[in-house]
Amino acid sequence: MRRLLPTARSFLIHSGQAAALAGVAVLAMAAAPLSAPDPVAPSETFAIPEAPPVTAVAEAAGPITRLITFDRPVKDYAINSPFGPRRMPGQAMRNHEGVDIAAPQGTGVFVAAEGSVVRTGYDAAGYGRFVEVRHPNGMSTLYGHLSRLDVASGDRVGSGQRIGLVGSTGRSTGPHLHFEVRRGDRQVNPVKVLGHEFQVVVQTADA
């Protein structure tokens, strides 16, 4: 058997010792417990950023509204002379600013919609005995050639309330109601209003 020189034996011993020491160090590190985080002292506080305050902004509510409907002023009788240009016997062409509803003398005439009576009177050369009513939607209606008036200026009238009777007063060829609708100074075709709903603002105590 071949014998190692003394220097070689010393090197092997030292190498083996180093390897053994390294293994022991690794095992010691593996066996050592993980270090726990430092506990928080009871007196310590944390500054948590506060959220900015929320301010509720209430939007102003819109006006309270309701609907009104314009109904025919003479029940069960049709329009026999429409709105617009027309020629009467022996007369030149002229604009008819309302509609005519032929009905027997004394037939009830009812306000088309609620409102206030702004005018009553007698026009011998035109409307004869008439009533004018202003409504909450800004329109006004006029009822002409009446034989009798059942209301006076300043009266409040409810929807469907009787305001007079059919007649043939003023410039008229027979018993009928002459019915006009106006918005300001402009004439409106009544056919475009009757049977239709209009939104109006409710008047409150603070208004």
Q: pLDDT truncated to tens, each residue of the chain (207 aa)?
A: 455 454 544 444 444 454 444 444 444 454 455 555 555 555 666 566 676 776 666 666 778 999 999 999 999 999 998 998 876 666 677 788 999 999 999 999 999 999 999 999 999 999 999 999 999 999 999 999 999 999 999 999 999 999 999 999 999 999 999 999 999 999 999 999 999 999 999 877 655
CB 88 within 8 A of CB 82: no
Q: Where are the alpha helices (DSSP H) in the chain?
A: 6-31
Q: Is residue 70 part of a domain?
A: yes
Q: Is residue 42 part of a domain?
A: no
What pLDDT does 205 receive?
Answer: 64
What pLDDT does 11 receive?
Answer: 44
Q: Is residue 197 part of a domain?
A: yes
Q: Which residues pair with 148 in a beta bridge?
A: 165
Q: Is residue 20 part of a domain?
A: no
What pLDDT does 71 receive?
Answer: 97
**83 is in which domain, residue-wise?**
65-88+96-201
Q: Is residue 189 part of a domain?
A: yes
Q: Which residues contact 167 (CB under 8 A, 6 or more apart)?
A: 105, 106, 128, 129, 145, 146, 147, 148, 175
DSSP state of 204: P
Q: Is residue 10 part of a domain?
A: no
Q: Which residues contact 84 (CB under 8 A, 6 or more apart)?
A: 95, 96, 189
Q: Is residue 53 part of a domain?
A: no
CB 195 within 8 A of CB 73: no
Work out the number of other CB atoms within 10 angstroms of the CB of residue 112: 25
CA dist., res. 3 & res. 33, Å (int): 47
Q: How far apart are the first and last CA of the chain?
A: 126
Q: Is residue 31 part of a domain?
A: no
Q: How many domains does the chain have?
A: 1
Which residue shows structure tokens 């003479």?
A: 74
What pLDDT does 98 receive?
Answer: 93
Q: Is the dihedral of CA 184, 189, 193, 194 positive or negative?
A: positive
Residue 133: C-alpha distances to residues 11, 48, 130, 194 (Å): 128, 70, 10, 15
CATH number at residue 104: 2.70.70.10
